[in-house]
Amino acid sequence: MLMLQDLALSEPAVCPYIPSEKAVNLYFIAARLDEKELNGILERGWRKFGWYYFRPACGGCERCTPLRVLTRRFEPTKSQRRVSRKNAGVEVRFSDLRYRDEIYEIYLEHSRARFQAAGSPEDFLLSFYNPSCPAIQSEYYKDGRLVGVGFLDRTHEALSSVYFVYRSEMLGHSPGIYSVLREVELARSLDLPYYYLGYHVGESSRMAYKGRFRPHEIYSWRQKKWVEAD
């Protein structure tokens, strides 16, 4: 691992999950992580975008809870099986990172529709195509047309979801849920016991879907260990 900036605290900002709160991250910037180094970081509750590695440091608030799915025991719910049937005609391809302008266009469409914002091409490339660790991407095709793209990191024990974007026309197909189902399936096919799904925040309706992928473990910040959820 090549450390490019040591641990630091971010400036307080509006929390993206609970707008009435302020969020602060502990972060560092690094490159050239191998699978074992990345695994150790994920196991301690960290997340990352590109070279930016972070975890919450919000002074007493512990509502951002890391969550990972136990892939070998995972069983889809009835509603998740319906999502799979609805996407039966969608072809999924996993590959090494491979940028195309079409992917950035989908990212822009998704960002504008979901967040009323759009990043620059430079920010997009820095976040997703300037990897600091082993990474892959997923591509979703409907009737031969690219309709969704996902970004994942890989360790010797896990896949970790980084980001997923899709065309607005796919909204009725629950593409976010379907991407998780396919990525969990990929992790299991690679005999990887864990699939990291990022932070779960119980008070955020946007995060509710994560808790429905079971069985899963959550990371206890206080105990510094993973505990299987009831």
Q: Which of 13, 45, 64 is the last residue of a domain?
A: 64
Q: Specify the number of domains making up the chain.
A: 2
Whether 154 and 207 share a structural domain? yes
- For residues 134 and 43, membership in a common domain is answered with no
Residues 150 and 192 in one domain: yes
The H or E element containing residue 107 is helix 101-115
Same domain membership, residue 73 and residue 48:
no
Q: Which residues pair with 152 in a beta bridge?
A: 136, 161
Spans of the chain below 50 pLDDT: none
- Per-residue pLDDT, 71: 98
Instruction: Kindly state whether residues 83 and 177 are assigned to the same domain.
Output: yes
pLDDT confidence of residue 108: 94
3-state SS track over 19-47 = CCCEECEEEEEEECCCHHHHHHHHHCCCE
pLDDT one-digit tens code per residue, 71-126: 999 999 999 999 999 999 999 999 999 999 999 999 999 988 877 677 788 989 99
Question: Are both 206 and 167 inside the same structural domain?
Answer: yes
* Co-location of 87 and 182 in the same domain: yes
- Domain extent, residue 35, equals 2-64
Query: Residue by residue, what is the 3-state secondary structure of 154-215?
Result: ECCCEEEEEEEEECHHHHHHCHHHHHHHHHHHHHHHCCCCEEEEEEECCCCHHHHHHHHCCC
pLDDT for 121 equals 87
Residue at a domain's end among 48, 64, 80: 64
